[in-house]
Chain A
C-alpha cells in the first residue's frame, strides 16, 4: 500500500500499482532451438501474461541477437482472446490460425495481421540481450482482455 496526498487532509491509502514495465529474465539465447518457441510470463503472472520467444532463423522487425531473428509475442489473439498456444508455423514464421476465428499473424513484421479479424497486431514483447541473457523490457500493443497492460 502507498499513501496518496500524504500529509494533507485528502491523504488516502491505495494499493501500489506498477507503472513501469519490469525488466525480466526470459531465457538464454544459447538455449533457444531454431523454430522452437519457449514460453514465459510477462509483464506479470496474471491473465493473458503467457508469451513465447522464438529464434526464427530469419531477420525480423524488433528481432535481437546476432541475426536479429529472436522475437517474442503474447499468446492471446487480439480479436476475441483465443489462445494461439502451439500455433507457431516455422515455414511461414507466423502464429495462428486462431481456433476461434482463424486470425494469423506475421512474426517477422511486428506481429501484424496476415489474414483475419484482429483489431490490432499481436502484442510484441520488447527484448534486450545482455551477453547470452534475454530480458523482456516492455510490450508494444495492448494485451487482449486488459484495459491496461500493467493494471490488468
Chain B
C-alpha cells in the first residue's frame, strides 16, 4: 500500500533506438486501448536521447501535443529473463482503432506502475503459495499447497456433493484463464455452486435485452459517435470508459450529436453534453423505468415512433409466442406467458398497455423520479420527433450498471421497448447496447449444470444456484475464490463477512501442524462440522477473503506476465503480450487450475502454455459474439500458432465474429444485428459459421420482442427502500481514477494522493442541514438492511415480490455502517449521495439490501440508503497535499 504523499520526478528516461517494442492493450476498462511497451536493459545505461535520431519514438523532444511524451508514471523497472529492464508504456500513437489519436485514460496511462517492482508499492505481490498454520499464512511449495487443496476438494465432493464445492471467480481476466476455470468447475467438478465476481448466481446482466433480442455488445464504437441523439442511462462514459467518450462520443457531440444523460450525478461528460446542446435527466435512484416509459408515452402519443422499422422488425402475437430462441425450460417464462406480465401481441398491444398506465403520464413520472417534466418532454423530442424535412433523428441508446442494477428486469425491459420504438438496434448510428464495465474475457469451458441447482421453483423453472444464500446457509464446504473480493462486491457485505468468519476462523478445526495427514484430518473435520475451507487465488492478499479467511493462497500471474487474449466492448480481440517475468513463483490462473485438476484426477488439462489453451478454446467461441475460430484456422494454414497470428495484428486486433474470405484473408464484424449487412448469398464457405445475430436479432424469428415493463413488480421494494426520516439515497459507482477495488490504485502514490480514503458526495443543501462540510469524516449507517434468508420462496405469482417475500417470512434485517470523507458538491442531486462502489474496508454495498431481483436473480446494487452524520474531521480537510474537494462538473 502507498502513503498519500507523492513527489513527482522532474525527468524521465527515454527508450533508445534499439528498444524492444511490444504491443498490448490496457488491463482495465471495457475499452481496452492499444499500448506499446518499450523495453531496454538497465545494464549499460544506454537510454534514448532528446532527438529523433536517438530515441525509439523517432521524435524530437519537447514533443508536440498528442505526441509520444513519457510521464514519469509511465516508466518502471522490471525483470525480463532475470535481468533488470526499463519499461516505458504509453498509448500506441499509431493505432487505427479504439484509442485513435493515441489517447489514453489516467488508469491506462499509468499502467507501467502496475508492474511488480520490489522497490515500489507493488512489493507486496503474492510471490509464493501459502498455508495458514497456527492462524498465520506461511510460504509452502506449490506441490504441497495443491496437494492439500486437491485432497480436501475430492473429499468434499465425495462426502458432501459437488454443490458443496463452490467456485467464485472473475468472469473476464483473460480467455485462457476463464476457459480453464470454467472447464474445471462446470465440466470436471460439475458444480452448480459457481458464479462470477459481479453476481450471486449465473444470470444475465440485462434480462430485458435478452428478451427483446439485443446482444449487450452489438454496437461498434463508431456508432456511438455517429448517432444524432444518444441516450446514456446509468453511466458517464467519461468517468468509466474514458476513451469511448473522448475519442467517439465527444467527437459526436462536436458534430452536433445531442447526448442525453440519465444519472443522478453530474460529472464531466454530463456537464460537457449539457454545455453542447445535450440534457441531464437527474433521476432519483430506482425510478428510471418511469422516465423511460414517460418518454415512450410522449413518443407514442405524438405518433413519432419509427413505423417502418416497427412494421418490419417487431414480432406480432405469433412471433412473440414462438419463443426467445432459448426454449422455455430455463427462462423465466411464467412471467411472460402464464402470468402475462411482459409478453405482448406486438407494438399496438404494447402501446395500448403503455397508455393505460397512469404512472407513466408525464407529471406522475416527473414527480416520482424528480426529473423536471419539461426535460422529459425535450428528451422525447430529441429522440424521436421528425425533423422539418420529415426525416427521423438517428437515435442510439447506451445503458450501464447505474441503470440495470437499479431495477434489473424492469429497467431493461422498458429501455428495450423504447429502443425499438425509436428504431435503435440494427443500423449504423442507430444501436442499443451496454457501454460495458470490465473487458470481455469470458469463454466457458463447460455448461452450467442448472439441473443440479436445488433452487427450484414451482412450475418448470429452476434457478441458477444463489451462491451467497447457499454459502450463508452453510452449504458451501470448500470455497475456491479466484480474483475477486467476493464479500465486499456482494450486497449485505457486512453480514456476509461475519458469517464467513464463523464458517472459517470461527470453526474449532484450524491447522496446527505441517504434517500432511494431520492437516487433512483437521480440514476434513472442519468441513464435516459445517465449516468451510477457503482457497484464494489472486495477485495480492485481499482482505478479508485471503488475509483473514483463506487456508490456502495460490499466487497468480497477470497482465504482462503471460500471453493472453481478450475482447473489448466492440468485440475487438487482441493479444496482451508477456513482456516481463511474473514475481517469484506466481503462475497464471490457467496453470494453477490445470495442476489442481490433474491432482484431482480430471482429464483434459495437459496444456504446456497459454497458446495451447487458446487453441483449445477457440472452437468454443463459435457462434458467440467473440467467435474467432477462423483466426485459428488461418493460423494453422499459415503454419503459425494462434497467439502468433494475433500478435501480428498488434493493437488493431480484429472484431468478432471473424470470418475467412475465399482468398484466406480474415474479416471481422463491425456490428451485430446489422440489418444493412450483406452476407454471401451462397452461405458460409468451409468452416465459417453465420449466426442469426449477424443480420437479425436474438429471437426465434430474428425480430425484436417488444415487452411490457410494469412498475408495480418493483414499486413495493422501491417504496420500502426509499429514504425515511433523515435518510438519503446512497448510490455508488466508479470514479475515473480508480479501477475496481483499487487493487492497483492503492499501490500508486499519485492515485492514493488523489483518493487517500473512501469518500461520499453529498449535495450542498443536504450537507448544510446536517452540519457537514467537505473534508469531514462521516458515518453512513443503515439500520434496516434487508436480506433474503433463503432463495425466493413462493408458489403463486404474487409471492414473487418483495411484499410477498416479507409476508412469507423470508426477509431478515440487519445493520450496516461505513465511514467516508465527505465531499460536499453541487454535482449530485439533492436527496442522493454517491460513493465509490468498492473500497475494501468501507464497502458501499453494505448499505444496499441483499435481495435479488425476483425475476432475474440479480442484485439491485445501486439502491443503497443511509443516514449520514459527522463524526469528526479527516486529515484532508485542512491540509493541501492530498485529495481535492472541487466539483467534478467543471467545463471548458
- Write out the residue numbers on chain A whose beta carbons fall within 8 Å of the beta carbon of B890: 89, 92, 94, 96-97, 104, 114-115
Pick the contact of A92: B72, B250, B880, B886 (CB < 8 A).
B886
For B891, give the chain A residue with the smallest CB separation: A97
- B886's partner among A94, A102, A121 (CB-CB below 8 A) is A94
Specify the chain A residue showing the minimal Cβ separation from B892: A97
Asked whether A128 is an interface residue with its Cβ less than 8 Å from the other chain, the reply is no
Per the 8 Å Cβ criterion, residues 277-316 of B in contact with A are none
Asked whether, in the complex, the Cβ of A119 is within 8 Å of the Cβ of B62, the reply is no
Contact of B63 among A97, A117, A145, A149 (CB under 8 A): A145
Q: How far is the CA of A144 from the CA of B9 in the complex (A)?
A: 12
* Shortest distance between the CB of B266 and any CB in chain A (Å): 11
Assembled-state Cα–Cα distance A93/B736 (Å):
21
Whether A109 contacts B884 in the complex (CB less than 8 A), given A92-B890, A140-B8, A141-B8, comes out as yes
Chain B interface residue number, banded = 35 or more
Contact B892 A99 (CB under 8 A): yes
Binary A-proximity of B351-391 (CB < 8 A = 1, otherwise 0): 00000000000000000000000000000000000000000
Which residues of chain A come closer than 8 Å to B549, judged between CB atoms?
Answer: none
Q: Mark A120-135, 1 if CB is under 8 A from B, else 0.
A: 1101000000000000
Within 8 A of B (CB), among A73-115: 76, 78-83, 87, 89, 92-94, 96-102, 104, 106, 108-110, 112-115
User: In the complex, what's the smallest C-beta–C-beta distance from A94 to chain B, in angstroms?
Assistant: 5
Does A46 reach chain B (CB closer than 8 Å)?
A: yes
Which of A92, A115, A147 contacts B14, CB < 8 Å?
A147
A147 to B105, CA, bound (A): 20
Contact of A97 among B50, B62, B71, B268 (CB under 8 A): B268
Does B65 make an interface contact (CB < 8 A)?
A: yes
Q: A80-B65, A117-B106 are in contact. Are A152 and B50 (CB under 8 A)?
A: yes
A116 an interface residue at 8 Å Cβ cutoff? yes
Task: Tell me whether chain A's interface is mostly helix, strand or loop, or mixed.
Answer: loop
A114→B8 contact, CB < 8 A? no
Partner of B62 from the list A98, A120, A146 (CB cut-off 8 Å) is: A146
> Is B71 in contact with A119, judged by CB distance below 8 angstroms?
yes
C-alpha spacing A106/B882, complex, angstroms: 11
Given A106-B886, A109-B881, A146-B61: A120 and B71 within 8 A (CB)? yes
Q: Which B residues, 42 to 84, have Cβ-Cβ distances below 8 Å to chain A?
A: 50, 61-67, 69-74
Among B106, B269, B750, residue most surrounded by chain A Cβ atoms (within 10 Å): B106
Q: Contact at B886–A117, with CB atoms within 8 Å? A: no
Contact A116 B268 (CB under 8 A): yes
Q: Given the known inter-chain contacts A80-B66, A92-B886, please indicate yes or no for A116 contacting B106, CB distance below 8 A.
A: yes
Which one of A61, A81, A101 lies within 8 Å of B880 (CB-CB)?
Answer: A61
Q: Is A117's CB under 8 angstroms from B50's CB?
A: no
Is B753 interfacial (CB-CB < 8 Å)?
A: yes
A109 touching B880 in the complex, CB below 8 Å, given contacts A97-B890, A102-B246, A142-B11: yes
Q: Report 29 cross-chain contacts, Cβ distance below 8 Å, ordered by A residue.
A: A46-B62, A47-B62, A60-B880, A76-B65, A78-B71, A81-B65, A97-B892, A99-B892, A101-B103, A101-B250, A102-B238, A102-B268, A104-B268, A104-B888, A104-B890, A108-B880, A109-B882, A112-B883, A113-B106, A113-B754, A114-B887, A115-B888, A120-B750, A140-B8, A142-B8, A145-B62, A146-B61, A146-B62, A147-B14
